Amino acid sequence: MSQTLSVPALQDRVEAILRRAGMNDVQSTALARVITAGERDGCKSHGIYRIEGSLRTLKAGKVRGDARPEIAASTSRGIVRVDARGGFSNPAFDMGLPLLAERARELGLAALVVNDCTHFAALWPEVEAITDHGLAGLVMCPSYASVAPTGGKSPLLGTNPIAFGWPRPGQPPYVFDFATSVVARGEIELHRRAGQPLPEGWAIDADGQPTTDPAAALAGAMLPFGGHKGSAIGTMIELLAGVMIGDLTSPEVLDILGATTLAPMHGELILALSPAAFAAGRRGDPFARAERLFEAIKGQGARLPSERRFAARARALSEGVTLTEAEAEQLDRLLARGLDAVD
């Protein structure tokens, strides 16, 4: 039988599972929030489905469930640095955000670097948290080598997500968040399980030849979105959010982790920009002008990114989140058995 829970009730349940598996308060609270946010927003791929993966990563000893992030020393006023100390990225982000916002307001822009974290969540919860401060946010991170650079033939870049948010007073922000590969790796896995061929242009096989066979694609490499342009953006993310911040690149992550089934370890780069500071002394209110741009986009029948997600959120907040019987049983099992419930 399906089960409907309020969003806070679901969050409590997820948090209890994570604590039962041995995570401390800061890790379990932050993770439960983003996992619940995924479920609430209708993003099943970042919802409770992710619990097992995070427990598997914990059980494999590849993330520290007892980590307490800390603000690290930074000699540059524009750079806030948080050491996740081998824990998940989310509590480290939460810790750094207030100082990031303060510095962005003071300087006009600032960066938050999260180092030594395990990353498994979407980036939109972070850009949304930045827009809650009236700031624009740009967030990016590597993942693990699974994408061939355009013209190449083997996995090197990660699916390297990039997300951006712009605050909209009185309503949900403008937010996009996407992988710089054509699709996320999970999409290829889903095609494999369903026995369906891939659309052309998604992947190459182990010999570097185009393929529509999901198994051959998983043994080969995914392709960047938008050809050489997406490939260049994916490379920029390796440079800025890997090399520049002194953390792992996607090929290094794969070398260390040895598997693509565990959540990747690396760093994350978060930029916050203050529209109020950038627009100071110029004509027009940036927030009002942005609304005119959004109206023009919607006025010609195009959608803003995240619109469906915000609609799902509104429904979930008023009507709750409905879990299938299988999902509810899975949560029960995870709560009862802890790490014994996963491989």
Q: Give me the active site residues, please.
A: 45-46, 187
Distance (Å, rounded) from C-alpha 160 to C-alpha 177? 11
Chosen residue from 84, 109, 253, 254 binding its own copies by CB under 8 A:
109
For its own copies, the closer CB: 39 or 177: 177
Q: Are 202 and 222 in contact, with CB atoms under 8 Å apart?
A: yes
With 0-12 / 13-18 / 19 or more C-beta atoms within 10 angstroms meaning exposed / middle / buried, residue 200 is exposed
For its own copies, the closer CB: 9 or 256: 256
Q: How far is the CB of 215 from its own copies (least distance, A)?
A: 22
Q: Are 134 and 167 in contact, with CB atoms under 8 Å apart?
A: yes
The angle that helices 25-40 and 89-107 make with each other, rounded to 10 degrees, is: 80
For its own copies, the closer CB: 156 or 321: 156
Q: Which residues from 175-234 bind its own copies, rule CB under 8 A?
A: 176, 178, 180, 208, 225-232
For 174, phi then psi, to 5°, come to: -75, 120
Chosen residue from 240, 312, 335, 339 binding its own copies by CB under 8 A:
240
Q: Which residues from 142-171 bind its own copies, rule CB under 8 A?
A: 148-154, 156, 164, 166
Dihedral over Cα of 254, 256, 259, 262: its sign:
negative
Which range touches its own copies (CB under 8 A), out of 14-22, 278-286, 313-321, 330-338?
278-286
Q: Which residues from 58-97 bind its own copies, rule CB under 8 A?
A: 72-79
Q: How far is the CB of 290 from its own copies (least distance, A)?
A: 5
Which range touches its own copies (CB under 8 A), out of 19-27, 39-47, 268-276, 315-323?
268-276
For its own copies, the closer CB: 244 or 314: 244
Contacts of 19 (CB under 8 A, 6+ apart): 25, 28
Q: Are 160 and 237 in contact, with CB atoms under 8 Å apart?
A: yes
